[in-house]
Amino acid sequence: MSFTLHDYVLSGNCYKVRLLAQLLEVSYTINPVDFHPGKAHKSPSFLALNPHGTLPVLESGDTVLTDSAAMLVWIAQQHDKQHTWWPINDAECLAMTVQWLGFSSQLTESIGQLRLHTMLNRPADAETLRRQSIRHLRELENHLTEQSIRGQAFLCGKQPTVADIACFAYTALSPDAGLEHTLYPGIRGWLHRIRCLEGFLTMPGIYEAHETRNEHTAAS
């Protein structure tokens, strides 16, 4: 099923959906919403569509999804015939995927909020957010180190799942919030592996890997 994505170009959560759609070669329509400076996602007409007042929103026929993790699952289940991105045939991997999808929404609350504060002047308790963000980055770093000891390159196994996409966005964007990746070698390697995936999509703050830069130009 094709869909319309109510989108904001600088949103990490919107980017997750654009990235997976691009990796799986799914076409869709973008409806840009004036998130900043217009706060159009808090307007009455938008709240009628999504009472949470958040982006992204995915619409397809009667389906309206307001959570990016749900959108990733919805897209993968329909378009990934190998069932690796949403690994329904592997209980262990599927459970891990759900677990790390949960972690990805914590990243929105820590790094995502800190980034809006640092970049777009959103009022926030920056010190608390910074502490939480660093705790989350360390947790991710530890897990990725353990994964590499197990010989697994991604969060839930040898193949990337929707959880990798979900956790990738705000982890990759953390320098926008003043948190560099220098201290996290495991994270750096994992970010790089995702950036090298065939069909990878960029956004401001997330660039193509040097290795692939000349092979394909960024799709618009």
Partner 1 sequence: MNAALEHALQDWYPVAMVGELAPGECKHSKLLGVDITVLANHAGNATESTPTITVRADGAPVDVQQAFDHWWVCLGNKPRSLFTIEEASEADRRFVPCGVVRVACSPLRAVENFLDIAHFPFVHTGVLGAEPHTEVYKYDVKVDESVDEVIATNIKFYQPQAAKSAEGGIQTEYIYRVPAPMAAVLYKTCPLKPDALDVIALFVQPLDEQTCDVWPWMALYDDTSTQAELIQFQQLIFLQDRSILENQLPKKLPLDPGQEIPTKADYTSVAYRRWLKKRGAYYGALEVHP
Ligand X SMILES: N[C@@H](CCC(=O)N[C@@H](CS)C(=O)NCC(=O)O)C(=O)O
Residues of span 86-105 touching ligand X by CB under 6 A:
105
175 binds, among partner 1, ligand X, none (CB under 5 to 8 A by kind): partner 1
Give the residue among 39, 37, 38 at the shortest CA–CA distance from 54. Answer: 39
**Closer CB to ligand X, residue 13 or residue 110?**
13
| Residue from 41, 117, 130, 143 in contact with ligand X (CB under 6 A) | 41
Which CB, 89 or 220, lies closer to partner 1? 220
198: buried, middle or exposed (CB in 10 Å: 19+, 13-18, 0-12)?
exposed
Strand, coil or helix: 58: strand
Interaction of residue 11 with ligand X, rule CB under 6 A:
yes
What's the min distance (Å) between Cβ of 16 and ligand X?
A: 8
**67: nearest Cα among 22, 30, 14, 28:** 14
| Residues 6 or more apart whose Cβ sits within 8 Å of residue 114 | 124, 126, 129, 130, 133, 177, 178, 179
| 87, interface contact from partner 1, ligand X, none, CB < 5-8 Å by kind | none
Q: Which token pair is 129? A: 């957010």
Which of 2, 4, 43, 121 binds partner 1 (CB under 8 A)? It is 121
Residue 29 engages partner 1 in binding (rule: CB under 8 A)? no
Burial status of residue 42 (CB atoms within 10 A of its CB: 0-12, 13-18, 19 or more): exposed
Stretch 48-67 residues interacting with ligand X (CB under 6 A): 54-56, 67
Which residues of the chain form contacts with partner 1 (CB under 8 A)?
A: 8-10, 32-34, 36-38, 40, 118-121, 175-176, 178, 204-205, 214, 217-218, 220
